[in-house]
Each structure stands twice: as C-alpha cells, then as structure tokens.
A and B are shown apart, each in its own frame.
Chain A
C-alpha cells in the first residue's frame, strides 16, 4: 500500500483578525483563557473573558461560516455576553440531537457474529424521561451553554433566548470540568472538591450520582461519544474509566508520570488520548486498557525526575479531529503540534506551529476549523481544511473497524472473542498501531 504523504498546513482564517479585535477591545481585561468551546452545530464559540469592571463574563461568538473570505461585521458577531458571578473555569455546549445519530440496534445478530449490546441510551430513557411527569424546564429544543464557576455553581444559559435557565448548586469548590453527552443532555461535572457529579437535564437538572473516591481534585471529565464510558483525569497520574450504566470503574490506567490534564475520545469510543504534564500524550485502548502509543513533546525524552516535575513542556490540552485523522496538542513550550493518530508508522509530529503562551486547543465538530487560546486573552482561528484536501477516503477495513467499535457499545469486552482470525481482532482493537 503506497504511503500517502500527509501535508498539514493549517492557515489562519480572515475572521481570526476580527475575533482578535473583539477580544482585545478595551472593554475587556487580558485574562488567561483556560477553556473555549465550540457548539455541536459548529457555529458558536464560547470564550470566557473578564470585562473592565472585573465582572466575569462569557462571550458567545456566532459565525455562520468561519471560512468566509470577505469578512464583514455580519459574518461574525458577538451573539451573547453572559455575566457570571465568579470566574469561569469550564464551559460546555449541550444540545439534544436527534436519535438517529446513535445507533440503537436491539436486534441480535445471527448466531455466528457479535451479540448486540443494549446501548446505554435505552436504559437511560427508561429511568429519566417519563413523559407524563410535568417538567419545569425543557432542555430538548435549544442550544445550551453550561459554565462552571469558581464558586462551585454551574450556570446554564439558553443561547437562543440569552437567558439564564438554571443554576446547579452542589459543588463546594471550583467546577473545573464540564461535559455534555452527545445527545441525551446528561452533564458531568468535576470539581476541586474531589467529586464528580452527574446531572440529568431532562429531569430538571436532577443530580443522580456523585462519584467521590478520591482525596484530590479531578481535572477533566469526558463522555465517550457512545455514552458508555466516562473518563476522569486528575493529579497523581489518575486516569480512570467508568462504565456509565453501573458506575463501576472499568479501568484505572497507569502510565503517566505527572498530573493528567486533558483527555479526548476517538469517534468510535475505542481509543482514548490523555495529555499530561509529563510531556507526553498517551493513546489507550478502551477495550483492553493497554497503552497503544505515546506521543512525545520533548525530545529526547526527559528523565523521570523531570517528567514528574518541572520540565517546561507541560501538555495542556489535546483534541482529535473528525474521522480520527489527527491529534492536535497545545504545549507549554509555545507550540501547537499535529500528530497522525492512526498511522502505523510513526508517532512523531507532522506539523508544529509556534503560538506564544498557548493554553487550549478546540476543534469544530465538522472538522473544518480549529481555535487556539492563549494567556494573553486572545483566541486565534485556523482552517484545518487544507489538511483535509489531502485526505483520501479511508480504506474499507478502517471503516469496518470504526463501525464495529461504534456498534459494540457496552459489550466492548466481547470484541476480544469475535469469531474471526486473531490478526483481524488485533486490527479491530487498534493493536497494530
């Protein structure tokens, strides 16, 4: 199979200048932008800022086409400015998408093939959304933004009407991580008060579960795209995966040497990547819990004493592009790097660009745009399309692997016992990367 040379050339977008002007306007203080978020429809970007009076706010920028060539005032505008009572540590957009996105197939396979699992959404629907009960809030229609504050509150705003809908008050300390599920409006929040709380927004924001097995903060929580796994990462090298139906620990993944700050799932939920202050991004299999690959940001690899301490190359955030092509990371050595995710040749970066004081990387769900935030209160926008133009359709084998992993859902362990040859099973489990 001939190797296709992958060329990565993210180019800065014209709207980036407009956004920079808005962010740097004298109304706002220069703050560290720790987190930014794109909406599921890829048209809104939320940026936490602080205005000249010291009031914390979230700017929601609307842009119908991030790639517009002629930038006018109407291309991109500030859609909302939400004032919050405390510093904003985390942001997440949530929107109820139609059920067709998740494959709920309860028919069993024929006897010779994999048995169909019940996807988690089936059990969820029974529990939470009894249609006869009157609900105070309706979260099923619009786009919502949840902001986690330093006071422990989570404020949920309706983007379309611009009003504050709900304030979830249960955490004692800063809410530093928030994530919505892709279609059932479950919110997971993690906090410096060492707990992870799960809220069901279809049940008026009912908090149905608290996970508090640790004595330290949790940095980030993420749902897997098929909602069967919840990943929590934190200091003391903690990476833990939970089964979202039984809320038991699936795996406690060992391998990092320092605080783990960010994580991301691949689109078929089979691969998890975690970013840590030990200068590495590790790629794990969610089926077996093994390390598949490591991506280094400091070459030569630092000694363990530096990896576990101050090394100047903390990896702050990681994002996976659409169709699992690339991994984008933001590192404290002022570089944003691109790595090929599923290439079986190398784990070295294919592109890097210098971004001073970069803090966070976010990509749009449609895979066309990337936003990078830094400590100077700015957000820069880049186009990822120039890389996609070198993108050829994946092989059929690759699509099959992705489909098998997406369909397997809760019964992921059964993948080890598929009735096919061992090399193919290893391929499905991403073991030959």
Chain B
C-alpha cells in the first residue's frame, strides 16, 4: 500500500489497469527518493532507458537490490536536483526518435552544478 511520507505517491485507488502501480517487478512506476525524503514517482521505462545506473540498481544483486519495493533511495541527490532529473527523463522519452525539432532542455543556473554531479552518478 502506498506510504504516507511527504511527496507524490501513486495511489492504488485509481483503477490499476488504467495507470499501473508500484507493486511487483513489472510495475509501471518507480519511486525515487531524494536525500531529503521527497519521493518522486516516475515511469519505470523512462527511468530505466535514460539511466543505466538505475537499471543496474533494480536488477543487480547486493546493496542495490531493491527490486521488490520498487523504491530507490538516492542518498546523494537532493530533491531540487532530483526533480530536474525526473523532468529530463520525460524530456528524453518524449524526444527520442522524434522527427520534430527538439528544443533545448532548460536548466536553472542555481542547480546546474549539482545536476551535473547527479547526472554523472546516474550516467544519463
């Protein structure tokens, strides 16, 4: 059942066949938790395609094995950076193999350095 900590959670009150959920190994969504406890729910396929690190965290053994709860705790990435990462996942999914003009991804000057470190960690 969805946790009740601060942040956005995928509610399983919506019909499961419409939106998918957070349960099980084939869930449609994934929960990324920032270092300050903010939870971001993103599409699993977007995150896995964009970031090989997240893909390894989900499928690999050992300390990264969090495939069951579908939650990934990123202890080095604060929420103001992680929200930009999630926006990038959506941007990339939208414009991959697109025939229209791809606009530039806007990045705010305040977060750009931390976003660089996070993107280096996530390899995206």
Contacts and interface: CB of A to CB of B under 8 A. Distances in A.
Say whether A and B bind each other: yes
B96 A399 contact: no
Nearest to B117: A420
B95 A393 contact: yes
Nearest to B105: A399
Nearest to A398: B119
Given A393-B102, A395-B119, A418-B113, A400 B107 contact: yes
Nearest to B91: A393
Interface in A333-381: 366
A403 B107 contact: yes
B109 A103 contact: yes
Nearest to A397: B119
Given A392-B97, A393-B91, A399 B113 contact: no
Interface in B76-124: 85, 88, 91-92, 95-97, 99, 101-102, 104-105, 107, 109-110, 112-117, 119-120, 122-124
Contacts of B88: 396, 399
Contacts of B105: 393-394, 396, 399
Contacts of A404: 112-113, 116
Interface stretch (A53-61, A108-116, A295-303): A108-116
Interface of A is mostly: loop
Interface in A382-433: 388-389, 391-397, 399-401, 403-404, 407, 418-421, 424, 427-428
A113 B123 CA distance: 22
Contact of B115 (A110, A114, A396, A428): A396
* Interface size, A (range): 20 to 34
A1 B123 contact: yes
Contact of A407 (B97, B112, B122, B123): B112
Contacts of A391: 102
* Interface size, B (range): 20 to 34
B44 to A, nearest CB: 18
B96 A396 contact: no
Contacts, number: 73
Contact of A116 (B52, B109, B119): B109
A323 interface: yes
B120 A397 contact: yes
B74 to A, nearest CB: 14
A389 B98 CA distance: 7
A407 B112 CA distance: 10
Contacts of A113: 110, 113-114
Nearest to B107: A403
Nearest to B124: A396
B97 A399 contact: no
B98 to A, nearest CB: 8
A399 B104 contact: yes
A392 B104 contact: no
A424 B116 contact: yes
Nearest to B85: A396
B87 to A, nearest CB: 10
A65 interface: no
A112 to B, nearest CB: 8
Contacts of B114: 113
A110 B108 CA distance: 14
Contact of B113 (A105, A396, A420): A420
Nearest to B116: A400
Interface string B28-61: 0000000000000000000000101000000000
B96 A393 contact: yes
B42 to A, nearest CB: 14
A238 to B, nearest CB: 34
Nearest to A419: B113
Given A1-B123, A391-B102, A396-B115, A403 B109 contact: yes
Interface of A: 1, 103, 105, 109-110, 113-114, 116, 323, 366, 388-389, 391-397, 399-401, 403-404, 407, 418-421, 424, 427-428
Interface of B: 50, 52, 85, 88, 91-92, 95-97, 99, 101-102, 104-105, 107, 109-110, 112-117, 119-120, 122-124
19 contacts: A103-B109, A113-B110, A388-B102, A389-B99, A393-B92, A393-B96, A394-B105, A395-B124, A396-B85, A396-B122, A396-B124, A399-B88, A400-B107, A400-B115, A403-B107, A403-B112, A407-B109, A420-B117, A424-B116
Given A1-B52, A110-B110, A399-B88, 5 more contacts: A113-B113, A116-B109, A396-B105, A400-B119, A419-B113
